[in-house]
Amino acid sequence: MHLATYLGLLDEGEKTLAASFRQVAEGHAEEADVYHLCNRLAAECDRHREHLAPAVARYGEQKVEEPEDLHAEGLTTTRTGGVGLLRDLHDLYLLVCYLDIAWTVVGQAAKAARDKELIGIVDHCEGETSTQLKWLKTRMKEAAPQALIVAS
Amino acid sequence: MAHDRIKDIWGPTTGFAAGEPWPIRVDTHLRDGLREEDVEHWVQSACVLCSNGCGVDIAVRDGQMVGVRGREDDRVSRGRLGPKGLFGWQGQLRDRITTPLVRRNGTLVEASWDEAMGLVVERSRALLDTKGPLSHGFYTSGQLMLEEYYTLAVIGKAGIGTPHMDGNTRLCTATAAAALKESFGTDGQPGSYTDLDVCDAVFHYGHNVAETQTVLWARMLDRLAGPNPPLHVCVDPRRTKVAEASDVHLAVRPGTNQALMNGLLRELIHRDWVDHAWVEEHTVGYDELARTVEPYTPQQVAEICRVEARDVERAAEVFGTSDRVVSTVLQGFYQSHQATAASVQVNNLHLLRGMLGRPGAAILQMNGQPTAQNNRETGVDGDLSGFRNWNNESHVQELADLWDVDPVVIPHWSPPTHAMQIFRYAEQGSIGFLWIAGTNPAVSMPDLGRIRRILGGDQVFVVVNEAFRNETTELADVVLPSALWGEKTGTFTNVDRTVHLADKAVDPPGQARSDLDIWVDYARRMGFTDRSGRPIPRWDSPEDAFDGWRECSRGRPCDYSGMSYAKLRGSGGIQWPCTDDAPEGTERIYTDHVFNTQDDYCENYGHDLLTGAAVDATEHKAMRYDGRARLKAAPWTPPPEFPSDEYPLGLGTGRTVFHFHTRTKTMRAAELDEAAPDAWVEIAPEDAEPLGIVEGDLVRVESARGALEAKARVSDIRPGAVFVPFHYGDVDRGGRPTRAANELTITAWDPVSKQPAFKGGAVRVTKVADGDGPSPAPDNTASARTSRTSRKG
Ligand code: SF4
């Protein structure tokens, strides 16, 4: 069953995302809202993994060979200045998108498998993931004009 | 005698029963033993030393202000004045800046208006030409007149086209606006002060009304002195006078308001104190709210907030079983962690019981400053003028038509820039021109070290309109002397939508000019014009500016179209909306329980309360709010900084009854200065004792960001919490260690309202030296000496 593969991907992805949120928080600590929110969203990703853990354990045993290497690239460094912030948030946005659709895919499988526990987990985490996406979009829309037009 | 009003802060009570009119009591203070017959004329005005806006007449003799007298027909005060209103005006009679100042070779020197404005215009023009409108930022106050704000809004939005405009209202009242918008679709106070005259219960959420709005507390005290007094419930970590008078006092641990609110909502739901039919008809979002609050049992709340579970139950019972509840909310919520979320839950409590829009059933999301409301209405705090939605093209078009400019000139691609972000851009130099008016950010903003670096650096050109030299003017490139209250004419609006006219009583000192005159002069020198070649703004007098605003507000919730100077003159205050259909104004809004959440009318589409992520137009449409209130929920999250081993105490900052803001006026009024001459640090006896601290000792308070020193006041504050008043800066200190509360505060803000979280950082306290008597903290307010002894002692 390939569902196990996707659960592994989600688990790994949330771990990567948490690390990336923390990376951006530290790298842009001067932007107080980015610092606090990215740290909080990192903790949210940690919680997603905790929620997911029972399902990973249950399906883990039926895991088959991965069809190919499925994993998301995290952020390893951060940039500086207004444009740097925008680009780092942009990278985070792509990473969250990747997870957002992964949750959707797993949710579909959970429904077909009539796995009520997993459906509940996905409902909760998918909602938070899409809010992460909306926040990044809101923040980037605010930052873009100043960064792209005025900042030197 | 007026002088006793320092001791007897609220004055003699005049008890009254529910439904009776609040009795008149006229308070007067005249200088130098003058009698009323010595006064040459009385000029109508209203007090600008807090958001209550008590109607007052200014006494004039020989062209000088010589006193004040409360206006007995005033709907807000019925003649009363508090200590600040009685004495505070005297502070503006000395130490004024009387000529423009410009910085030459590092020091400020006197200059002519022409020279000073020449410098301002030269720098502004050069930056506009090279970097465009986003290089300009404006940071104003909650103490200017409506006409001045609106004039600046038009110059900024239609003349320059910058989104970088905000007021220090961001520090004090942004959450009130944000919470109202989230729940009801637009800003606009649901309640009226008269609701206090008939209610059965009053809830104070982080609102020390006894000190912040003394005349409003006098109104409540008078109900308490009457035959059928309402119950009071108080949420505040300090043992305030309000807490003392309350039936239930919830001294929650800083940073946990949202947990308490979720607990109260859960009790309402579990004990079925919910008007289900009303909720069904007039709200959207009940199921999600019920789901979100479900884990917050009284025991769970007791655990998180460190209060008694039975007090949580009792508070919910008062709310759930009273017919008419008035809730008031202020800084204990607005300047704390999860500010907007917690304030929205106050709205939710009322919505679950259908308890608003009728006499005695009201929400008062309070303001701090006298004219904060106008800052919000006119749109110099960043919103679009007239509570319009920047995200709604037809609203932008309305303004473009009114101002006769191309809509692309009006910045509306994202929400206007909030204060903290403006300072960040100034720090980075992308804002190279920053104009500050009527506010002292070098004392009032969080993390002062950083603010001083920003204003003092040469990456940004700083212009300051001010009446007194202060911490901020000393960092400016150009200082322009401004006229104060009583020296210019204008209107302003208090917490409960009451508009007052404040007439000019005397001439400003020296060459000082009103902020309106200063900005019109700037606009004329810059040559801003509309599409038809007319000047922007089209007016240069306050009354014409007011008429311009009446047109701008027409058809919006804050509708002033039916008002005029003539109508306001001689009135006891008129509440907006005031239209042809409601020519006398409107006491209470939402009486039909139809809210302003229609897609094409609302001021914004709402936000996620945890992150501030914006809801977009399509999502809003899909929810079909259409006049129904939005019930918005959020779980409690731990604050960014909780007390730790290194910093074991939770910091709260706030005000005392005798001062306003950074004391620019109140420290110059002898009565007020003597009543609270210096800063202090409040600490509970349980915390003081193990540190070897007793009343009056000099102590040092340190956070991860900075430190201050002041004398200890061992008070009835809850154990684990420390309080420092925020009024005191360094300008009159010489080289002594600082006592400014904002040396300690964290740079963090609410994700929705962007209001800084001044309350709730973690600190440690150590003893520096023995004291030589009690601390300077007032003894007849929340800072009174403790009646407890420590458990160990
Ligand atoms: S309550 Fe406020 S407005 Fe009224 S007199 Fe006191 S300071 Fe002035």
Mean pLDDT for the stretch of residues B115-123: 97
The 10 Å Cβ neighbour count of residue B584 is: 11
What CATH number corresponds to the domain at position A129?
A: 1.20.1260.10
Q: How far, in Å, is the centroid of ligand 1 from the Cα of B8?
A: 15
Does A149 contact B132 at a Cβ distance shorter than 8 Å? yes
- Which protein residue's CA is at the shortest distance from atom 7 of ligand 1? B49
Whether residues A142 and B749 touch (CB distance < 8 A) is answered with: no
Contacts of B454 in chain A (CB under 8 A): none
Could you tell me how far CA B257 lies from the centroid of its own chain? 19
Plot region of B459 (φ>0 → left; ψ -120 to 50 → alpha; else → beta):
alpha
Mean pLDDT of chain A: 89
What per-residue confidence (pLDDT) applies to B448? 79
pLDDT score for B792: 39
Q: Looking at the predicted structure, is the pLDDT value of residue B550 above 90?
A: yes
Q: What percent of chain B has pLDDT over 90?
A: 77
A45: distance to nearest CA of chain B, Å? Answer: 14
pLDDT bucket at B730, cuts 50 / 70 / 90: low
Render A34-98 in DSSP notation, one character per residue. HHHHHHHHHHHHHHHHHHHHHHHHHHHTT----SS------------HHHHHHHHHHHHHHHHHH
User: Using one digit for the tens of pLDDT, what is the confidence trace for A19-37?
Assistant: 999 999 999 998 989 999 9
d(CA B375, nearest CA chain A) in Å: 22
Identify which of B215, B216, B493, B658 to mutate to test ligand 1's pocket (most ligand atoms within 8 A of the CB): B215
Same domain, B376 and B360: no
DSSP 8-state symbol, B613: P
In a domain, B64, yes or no: no
Q: Are residues B434 and B493 in the same domain?
A: yes
* Mean pLDDT across B376-395: 91
Banded model confidence at residue B735, pLDDT cuts 50, 70, 90: low
Q: How many domains does chain B have?
A: 3
Distance from CA of A135 to the nearest CA of B (A): 4
CA of B310 to the centre of ligand 1 (A): 36
Regarding whether B324 and B397 lie in a shared domain, the answer is no
**Closest partner CB to B134 (pick from A131, A141, A145):** A145
| B743 in a structural domain | yes
Measured in Å, how far apart are chain B's first and last C-alpha atoms? 42
Quick one: which of B503, B490, B492 has its CA closest to B541?
A: B490
Say yes or no: B610 contacts chain A, CB-CB below 8 A.
yes
Range of the domain at B324: 174-366
Over residues B565-584, the pLDDT tens digits come to: 999 999 999 999 999 999 99
- Mean pLDDT over A106-118 rounds to 94
Query: In this structure, are B197 and B105 located in the same domain?
Result: no
Strand partners, B43: B58
Determine whether the interchain pair B428/A81 forms a contact, defined as Cβ–Cβ distance below 8 Å.
Answer: yes
- Using one digit for the tens of pLDDT, what is the confidence trace for B36-78? 999 999 999 999 998 999 999 999 999 999 999 999 999 999 9
Which chain A residue's Cα is nearest to B751?
Answer: A33
Name the residue of chain A whose CA is nearest to B755's CA: A33
ipTM of this predicted structure: 0.84
Residues B344 and B459 in one domain: no
Residue A63 lies in domain: 3-148
pLDDT for the residue B427: 93
Q: In this structure, are residues B261 and B636 in contact, taking their beta carbons and an 8 Å threshold?
A: no
Confidence of residue A17 (pLDDT cuts 50, 70, 90): very high
Q: B361 and B376 share a domain?
A: no
B211 and B281, same domain (yes or no): yes
**Per the structure, how many domains does chain A have?**
1
What is the pTM assigned to this prediction? 0.92
Strand pairing category for B64-70 and B28-30: antiparallel
Statement: residue A63 has pLDDT above 60: no
Average pLDDT over residues B184-207: 96
Do B439 and B312 fall into the same domain?
no
Interface test mutation site (partner A, options B430, B434, B451, B460, max chain A beta carbons within 10 A): B430
pLDDT of B227 reads 94
Whether B676 has a pLDDT exceeding 90, the answer reads no
Give B422→chain A minimum CA distance, Å: 11
Q: pLDDT confidence of B191, banded at 50, 70, 90?
A: very high
Q: How confident is the model at residue B363 (pLDDT cuts 50, 70, 90)?
A: very high
Q: Could you tell me if B284 and B381 lie in one domain?
A: no
CA of B466 to the centre of ligand 1 (A): 22
Interchain CB distance below 8 Å, A32 and B420: yes
Q: How far apart are the first and last CA of chain A?
A: 53
Ligand 1 atom nearest to B82, measured from its CA: 6
Kindly report the backbone phi and psi dihedral angles of residue B574, in degrees, each rounded to the nearest multiple of 5, phi listed first. -125, 130
- Of A82-96, B318-332, B376-390, B514-528, least confident by mean pLDDT is B376-390
pLDDT at A62: 59
Contact B613 A137 (CB under 8 A): yes
pLDDT at A1 over 80: no
Q: Does B661 score more than 80 pLDDT? A: no
pLDDT over 60 at A69, yes or no: no
pLDDT of residue A61: 57
State the Cα–Cα distance between residues B61 and B729, nearest whole angstrom: 34
When CB atoms are compared, the residue of B163, B417, B640 closest to A36 is B640
Quick: pLDDT tens for B481-530.
999 999 999 999 999 999 999 999 999 999 999 999 999 999 999 999 99
Task: Take atom 4 of ligand 1 and give the residue whose Cα is closest.
Answer: B54
Q: Average pLDDT, stretch B304-330?
A: 97
Nearest to B430 among A41, A82, A142 (CB): A82
Residues B348, B489, single domain; the answer is no
> B570 lies in a domain?
yes
Q: Is the pLDDT of residue B791 over 50?
A: no
Q: Which of B81, B117, B66, B789 is nearest to B517 (CA)?
A: B117
Q: Indicate which residue's Cα is closest to atom 6 of ligand 1.
A: B82
- Partner A contacted by B747 (CB < 8 A): yes
Nearest residue on chain A to B748, judged by CA atoms?
A32
Min Cα separation A144/chain B (Å) = 10
Q: Is the pLDDT of residue B767 over 50?
A: yes
Task: Give the angle A103-A31-A144 at the CA atoms, nearest 5°.
Answer: 70
Dump the DSSP string for B308-321. -HHHHHHHHHHHHH
The model's confidence at residue B667, banded by pLDDT at 50, 70 and 90, is confident
Q: What is the pLDDT of residue B731?
A: 54
Q: Which of B9, B49, B56 to mutate to test the pocket of ligand 1 (most atoms within 8 A of CB)?
A: B49
CA-closest candidate to residue B243, choices B206, B189, B297, B272: B206
* Residue B605 resides in a domain: no
B454 and B500 housed in the same domain: yes
Chain B contact set for A137 (CB, 8 A): 613
Question: What CATH code is carried by the domain that includes residue B687?
Answer: 2.40.40.20
Tell me which residues of chain B, numbers 451 to 490, contact chain A at a CB-CB cutoff of 8 Å: none
B267 pLDDT above the threshold of 60: yes
B131 closest CB neighbour out of A37, A82, A150: A150
What does pLDDT average to over chain B? 92
Say if B112 is an interface residue toward chain A (CB within 8 Å).
no
Q: Is the same domain home to B306 and B350? A: yes
C-alpha B482 – ligand 1 centre gap (Å): 22
Average pLDDT rounded to a whole number, residues B699-704: 91
Contacts of A131 in chain B (CB under 8 A): 608, 610-611, 613
Of B134, B429, B608, the CB nearest to A134: B608
pLDDT of residue B714: 95
The three-state secondary structure class of B35 is: coil
